[in-house]
Amino acid sequence: MSDVLSADLTGLPEGLTARPLTLDDAEAAAELLAAAEAVDDTGEHEDAADLTEWWDRELVDLPDDGRAVVTDGGRLVAWATSIAPRGGRDALRLWTEGRVHPEWRGRGIGRALLDWQVRRGTEQHAALAPPGLPGRLVASAYPAMDSAARLFERAGFTAERWYHSMERALADVPEVRPAPGVDLVPFTWDRDDEVRRAHNASFTAHHGSTERDELAWRSWFTGQRAFRPDLSVLALVDGAVAGYVLGYVYEADTRATGVSTVHLGQIGVLPAARGRGVATATIAASLRAAAGAGCGRAALDVDSENSTGALALYERVGFRTVRTRTAWAFAVPAVAAR
């Protein structure tokens, strides 16, 4: 367990206390998110099983990495986490997440939780980052979350990046036209590590990219229960993975929206294979597979400043922006040699 400083929250209203977050809080935390979605409009829907999967990973120490704020009667009114995905090229990025129930906003709870996240994230950076690698504590705010954006700015965060959430219907999907010399095949588990290595190689020049080792790859990507190998497509050149699209279908999202949506979580092409239509063909094949499996919509996120022209590519295959979130970041100085 972390020291007393990082375990305590200061400035909570009378009648509220903080304690370590536990997996037993997942149901109440999911209910809180559902109540918040009515005003925050993030487009995201998570149930207790999603949160349990997210928090119960080898890379997360929930008693240290999460805080719950509860009433004297035990009602959960807010929660927060600081999760270190490990790795990092230009910085060790730590994900700060959480929410305050709409009925309890405006009372300083979010500020107290954010102060804790900064302390905890700074501790995680000191423990995990190699000497000389700075840290970035990253938080997100959607357009309807004005108060959160103001809170981040007052706490010393800066608006770092803008990400478009894009969608398209699957009633009319594009034709699959693989480039000469490119074979499109479904994802298979014997190629999982090859796809991981292709992903690492594809994103070396991207903002905020992180080298994924085998544990991190399984934890954050293909180990998810929402991962759909049958909706994921690989592009092979000379028998080796040169491009890929990994698809996910979230049950909670389908229940909340009434539409089964394939989320294209990871899309990449090796630098040597770019400019040949590999990404377009691979995306089209994934969309066709999803439509054939009964999905009615596809979704993805893209950095508005993506250096490979991904935004224009996604627009060409029918995706349109439905909302844009801002990524806020708090800079943590690099640590000296231990």
pLDDT of 88: 74
Q: For each of the chain's 338 residues, which pLDDT tens digit applies? A: 444 433 478 889 999 999 999 999 999 999 999 999 999 999 999 999 999 999 998 889 999 999 999 999 999 999 999 999 877 778 999 999 999 999 999 999 999 999 999 999 999 999 999 899 999 999 999 999 999 999 999 999 999 999 999 999 999 998 888 888 999 999 999 999 999 999 999 876 555 567 788 988 998 899 999 999 999 999 999 999 999 999 999 999 999 999 999 999 999 999 999 989 999 999 999 999 999 999 999 999 999 876 567 899 999 999 999 999 999 999 999 987 65
DSSP 264: E
pTM of this structure: 0.91
> b/e for 210-243, b at 16 or more Cβ within 10 A?
bbbeeebbbbbbbebebbbeebbbbbbbeeebbb
pLDDT of 177: 85
pLDDT of 205: 59
pLDDT of 203: 78
Pairing of strands 92-100, 135-141: parallel
Q: How far apart are CA 63 and CA 54, in angstroms?
A: 14
Q: How far apart are CA 84 and CA 126, in angstroms?
A: 11
CA distances from 69 to 64, 76, 118, 302 (A): 14, 6, 17, 33
- Classify the phi-psi angles of 43: left when phi > 0, otherwise alpha if psi is within -120 to 50, otherwise beta: left
Burial (CB count within 10 angstroms: exposed 0-12, middle 13-18, buried 19+), residue 108: middle
pLDDT of 213: 87
pLDDT of 79: 98
User: How many CA atoms within 13 Å lie on the side-chain side of 335?
Assistant: 15
